[in-house]
């Protein structure tokens, strides 16, 4: 930290008066834009810019900037010596979790479960329908002024397998209901029963994959799921099946997927890739039967109001000393 920044922080903190005794919260959304925040806390706005708004050592509750690179999100953590909560605005926490190892014991990590359910589920359905009905080819035909008609697969009467049946997986199934699918199967880390039917354990994937026309990946990226959709997984999918990934790029083995799509045996619709962003010249860009969207499951008009509601709820819980929602890990 530069001397200039230290002086700035001292001057800022000296102007706070009695606020010194209040817990400091760093928010990527200007606090004045969030109604209902508790006035017993102090707030600073930081959305990943080069300059910190206050001394990071004073921060007790850190809300991670949204859609910023991991190195930006984790940059202040090493200086946050009084930190008690890290709150992401994403459902996945893979971009922030590795940095927690350097924090003091007892820091709680909470994710944004529920914030992205609607948007990500909408995109998953969009990718499924666009891929099955050949929308990318229609767009290319329009650009070329060509009338490209013909028969296309429908979602009706198809079998869908959702791999990762959490809040987003459930929201995807909600949106599949009107499409008259023949079957929806569900897979998660732990088996359970839902109102719609059983959730199978992940070790039953070898039996479930050959039955699915569409396989939707919504599982978090962990050491256990990294490369889950590899050569063995993909080889068990039926000929002509569609793989949809709205989770994280690392859940799919890109080399193995390229082998399958380049042969024409499988198709894919990917909102996330490995590597990401997908560099120019990468073979996935022009692989046959592959539709790519640039990781846009979450950033829609639905994000901001849901993010504000989450932060209002969490910060009121924090101010009252209550248990926080969506706790996924604690350091130490």
Sign of the CA dihedral running 65, 68, 70, 72 = negative
Contact 110, 87 (CB under 8 A): yes
Tens of pLDDT along the chain (332 residues) come to: 443 444 444 334 544 444 457 999 999 999 999 999 999 999 999 999 999 999 999 999 999 999 999 999 999 999 999 999 999 999 889 899 889 888 999 999 999 999 999 999 999 999 999 999 999 999 999 999 999 999 999 999 999 999 999 999 999 999 999 999 999 999 999 999 999 999 999 999 999 999 999 999 999 999 999 999 999 999 999 999 999 999 999 999 999 999 999 999 999 999 999 999 999 999 999 999 999 999 999 999 999 999 999 999 999 999 999 999 999 999 99
Rounded-to-integer distance, Cα 221 and Cα 93, Å = 8
Q: Could you give the CA distance from residue 102 to residue 80 in angstroms, rounded to a whole number? A: 10
Q: How far is CA 303 from CA 68, 188, 199, in A?
A: 15, 25, 28
Instruction: Confirm if 168 and 121 have CB atoms less than 8 A apart.
Output: yes
Question: Domains of the chain (ranges plus CATH)?
Answer: 3-115+302-330 (3.40.50.720), 117-292 (3.40.50.720)
User: For residue 82, which of 165, 21, 1, 145 has the smallest C-alpha distance?
Assistant: 21
Coil/strand/helix, residue 278: coil
pLDDT (tens digit per residue) in 196-240: 999 999 999 999 999 999 999 999 999 999 999 999 999 999 999
pLDDT in tens, 30-81: 999 999 999 999 999 999 999 999 999 999 999 999 999 999 999 999 999 9
Residue among 116, 200, 295, 326 flagged as catalytic: 295
CA 131 to chain centre: 21
Among 55, 71, 63, residue whose Cα is nearest residue 10 = 55
**What's the chain's Rg over C-alpha atoms?**
23
Nearest to 107 by CA among 329, 263, 279: 329
45's enclosing H/E stretch is strand 42-45
Q: Is 294 in contact with 270 (CB distance < 8 Å)?
A: no
5 catalytic, yes or no? Answer: no
Full-model pTM: 0.86
Q: Token pair for residue 236?
A: 């068990």
Cα separation, 136 vs 105, whole angstroms: 50
Other Cβ atoms within 10 Å of 11 Cβ, number? 9
Question: Coil, strand, or helix at residue 225?
Answer: coil
Phi, psi of 197 (to 5 degrees): 140, -175
Rounded-to-integer distance, Cα 27 and Cα 332, Å: 25
């Amino acid at each position: 930290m530069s001397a200039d920044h230290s002086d700035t922080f001292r001057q800022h903190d000296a102007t706070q008066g009695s606020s010194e005794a209040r817990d400091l919260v760093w928010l990527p959304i200007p606090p004045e834009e969030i109604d209902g925040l508790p006035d017993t806390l102090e707030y600073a706005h930081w959305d990943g810019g080069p300059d910190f708004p206050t001394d990071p050592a004073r921060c007790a509750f850190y809300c991670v900037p949204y859609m910023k690179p991991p190195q930006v999100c984790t940059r202040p953590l090493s200086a946050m010596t009084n930190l008690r909560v890290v709150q992401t605005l994403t459902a996945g926490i893979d971009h922030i979790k590795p940095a927690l190892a350097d924090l003091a014991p007892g820091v709680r990590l909470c994710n944004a479960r529920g914030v992205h359910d609607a948007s990500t589920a909408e995109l998953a359905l969009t990718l499924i329908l666009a891929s099955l009905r050949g929308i990318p080819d229609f767009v290319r035909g329009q650009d070329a002024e060509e009338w490209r008609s013909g028969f296309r697969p429908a979602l009706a009467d198809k079998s869908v397998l959702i791999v990762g049946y959490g809040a987003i997986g459930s929201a995807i199934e909600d949106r599949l209901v009107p499409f008259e699918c023949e079957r929806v199967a569900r897979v998660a880390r732990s088996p359970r029963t839902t109102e719609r039917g059983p959730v199978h354990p992940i070790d039953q994937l070898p039996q479930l994959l050959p039955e699915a026309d569409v396989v939707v990946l919504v599982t978090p990226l962990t050491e256990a799921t990294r490369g889950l959709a590899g050569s063995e997984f993909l080889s068990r999918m039926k000929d002509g099946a569609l793989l949809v990934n709205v989770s994280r790029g690392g859940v799919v083995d890109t080399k193995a997927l390229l082998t399958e799509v380049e042969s024409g045996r499988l198709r894919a619709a990917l909102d996330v890739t490995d590597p990401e962003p997908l560099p120019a010249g990468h073979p996935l860009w022009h692989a046959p039967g592959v539709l790519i969207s640039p990781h846009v499951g979450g950033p829609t008009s639905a994000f901001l109001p849901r993010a504000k509601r989450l932060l209002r709820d969490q910060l009121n819980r924090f101010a009252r000393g209550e248990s926080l929602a969506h706790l996924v890990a604690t350091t130490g």
